[in-house]
Structures are given as C-alpha cells and as structure tokens.
C-alpha cells in the first residue's frame, strides 16, 4: 500500500531538539508515527515531546550523545523495550565551525567529524540492527548542499557531509537485503542555530542567497516534508539517494 502516512511506525530522530529536528519530530508525529526525540539538549527535547503529546500525538524524549556508543546503545535498547523496535531513524544531529582552510583548527575538525560522521554511523547501525529484527525500515540522514558542492569556509562541515552522502550509498547497498531503505536530504540554508554565523554575516549570507534560484531560505518544514516522504511507503522503491532541498542551488 502506497501512502505518505506513518501510522503505527516508531521513529527515532537524533538532533530532535534542533531548529530543523523539532519540525521533523512534529511532522512525523502528525503523520501518525510515535516519535522518540533524542538529543543532548534535554530542555528543548522534553518540551518538544510534551508539545507533541499535548497535541494528541505520541512522543518521548531520550537523552542522547551521538558520539558515545554507550549512549546510542542505551537509546535503542530503551526504544526496543518500550515500543518493540524502530521502523524509522532520522539522523539530524549536527555541528559546524566556520574557518578557512589555512586556519582550520584540528580539534574542531575532529569534533565535527565525530558528531556528523561517527554519530550518524553509530545511530544508523544501531537502528539497522533493530530494523533487521522488524523485517525492514527507513533510515534518512541529513546531509547538506555542503556534501554535494564545496562550501567556502566550511572545510570540516563539507567533508563530514560528503562522508554522510557516501555512507548513505554504501549502507543502502549493504542493507537492501533486509528491506531497509537508506536515503538522505541535502538542505540549503535554514535560519537555525547552526547557520547563525552565515545568517548574521551580511556578505556571507548574500553569497549563499546568490546561489539559490528560488531566492529564499530553506524552511525546516521544507526539509521535514521531504523526510516524511522518504520515511513513508510512497518511497519504498527509493534507496541510496540524496534529495536536495535546496531551491535549485546544486542544479547549476
């Protein structure tokens, strides 16, 4: 049955307390999924789960550090105990630092790779192990236009998102036999905390906007709707793909 609905599905959203993550959690819950909001940020994460529950949806907050395999394991064990397993895993936790290549700080580079690459690997692997027992599932990782084209001043971030793109393709090949689809989205600039250094610098902001044919910022709901599609049965025959949600940026 082809549908955009997610009724009866259990979704784990990492970075679920972030500017884009909150909207993804709300969208998936509105589509009928039980949503596990997983993030370092307990205040916003709890608030998001409470808001969804107050609106008639189903949600639970679990604290998560995606760089800590023990923390990742604890979250997925709790989800198995509470809901029987996971059907959908959206990997949205992400960090960045902006510096030119000559000044790029080693510690910052390693931290970005740890959160954006190792974190996605650990969570997607834990989710996939649970999905194998369920007979299938959907994994969607948030990449970025910076994973598809070079992003001036964002060396660590661009490298990390390029790695996420390749992780999506390789995991899709490895997991197809288990009926697990692995896809990603590549958003353009959203007005959220991670993008503040770009948004708040008029010159850099304009240089980003000049690249977007549709001439507006990406909204978290643009990203959330693309993710709902990729998590739904309407996307059952799509795997290993990265859907740009970028107003046309990467077409040129």
- The binding site for ligand NAD (CB under 6 A) comprises 14-15, 17-21, 39-41, 64-67, 92-95, 115, 119, 142, 144, 187, 189-190, 192-195
Question: Among residues 2, 157, 178, 205, which one is catalytic?
Answer: 157
Pick the closer one to ligand NAD by CB: 125 or 233: 125
- Give counts: helices (H), strands (E), the chain: 9, 7
Tell me the C-alpha to C-alpha distance, in Å, between residue 186 and each of 145, 207, 247, 248: 5, 18, 11, 11
Comparing CB distances to ligand NAD, the nearer of 24 and 175 is 24
CB atoms within 10 A of CB 199: 17
Min CB(180)–ligand NAD separation in Å: 21
Measured at the CA of 3, the angle between CA 34 and CA 28, to 5 degrees, comes to 25
C-alpha dihedral (22, 193, 96, 108), degrees to nearest 10:
-120
Structure tokens, 103 = 């000044």
**Sign of the C-alpha dihedral, residues 232, 129, 15, 29?**
positive
For ligand NAD, which is the closer residue by CB, 112 or 177?
112
37 three-class SS: strand
Annotated active-site residue 157? The verdict is: yes
If the CB atoms of residues 40 and 180 are measured against ligand NAD, the closer one turns out to be 40
Smallest separation, CB 66 to ligand NAD (Å)? 4
- How many C-alpha atoms does 159 have within 13 Å on its Cβ side? 16
Q: How far is the CB of 63 from ligand NAD (least distance, A)?
A: 9
Closest approach of ligand NAD to the CB of residue 115, in Å? 5
Which pair of tokens denotes residue 68? 């800590």
Closest CB to ligand NAD among residues 90, 175: 90
Q: CB 7 → ligand NAD: shortest distance, Å? A: 26
- Smallest separation (angstroms) from ligand NAD to the CB of 93: 4
The answer to whether the beta carbons of residues 242 and 183 sit under 8 Å apart is yes
- List, in order, residues 6 or more apart from 70 with CB less than 8 Å away: none
Give the nearer residue to ligand NAD in terms of CB position, either 26 or 67. 67
Determine contact, residues 76/12, Cβ cutoff 8 Å. Answer: yes
Enumerate the active-site residues.
Answer: 157
């Amino acid at each position: 049955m082809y549908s955009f609905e997610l009724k009866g599905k259990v979704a784990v959203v990492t970075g679920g307390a972030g500017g884009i993550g909150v909207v993804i959690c709300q969208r998936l819950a509105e589509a009928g999924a039980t949503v596990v909001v997983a993030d370092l940020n307990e205040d916003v994460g709890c608030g998001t789960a409470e808001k969804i529950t107050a609106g008639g949806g189903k949600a639970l907050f679990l604290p998560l550090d995606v760089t800590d395999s023990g923390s990742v394991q604890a979250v997925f064990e709790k989800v198995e105990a509470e809901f029987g397993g996971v059907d959908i895993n959206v990997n949205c936790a992400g960090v960045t630092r902006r510096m030119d290549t000559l000044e790029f700080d080693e510690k910052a580079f390693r931290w970005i790779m740890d959160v954006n690459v190792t974190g996605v690997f650990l969570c997607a692997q834990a989710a996939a192990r649970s999905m194998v027992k369920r007979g299938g599932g959907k994994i969607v990782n948030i990449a970025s236009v910076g994973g598809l084209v070079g992003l001036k001043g964002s060396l660590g971030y661009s490298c990390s998102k390029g790695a996420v793109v390749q992780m999506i393709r390789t995991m899709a090949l490895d997991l197809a036999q288990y009926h697990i689809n692995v896809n990603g989205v590549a958003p353009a600039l959203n007005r959220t905390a991670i993008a503040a250094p770009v948004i708040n610098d008029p010159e850099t902001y304009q240089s980003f906007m000049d690249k977007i044919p549709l001439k507006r910022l990406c909204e978290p709901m643009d990203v959330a709707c693309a993710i709902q599609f990729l998590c739904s049965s309407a996307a059952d025959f799509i795997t290993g793909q990265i859907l740009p949600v970028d107003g046309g940026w990467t077409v040129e």
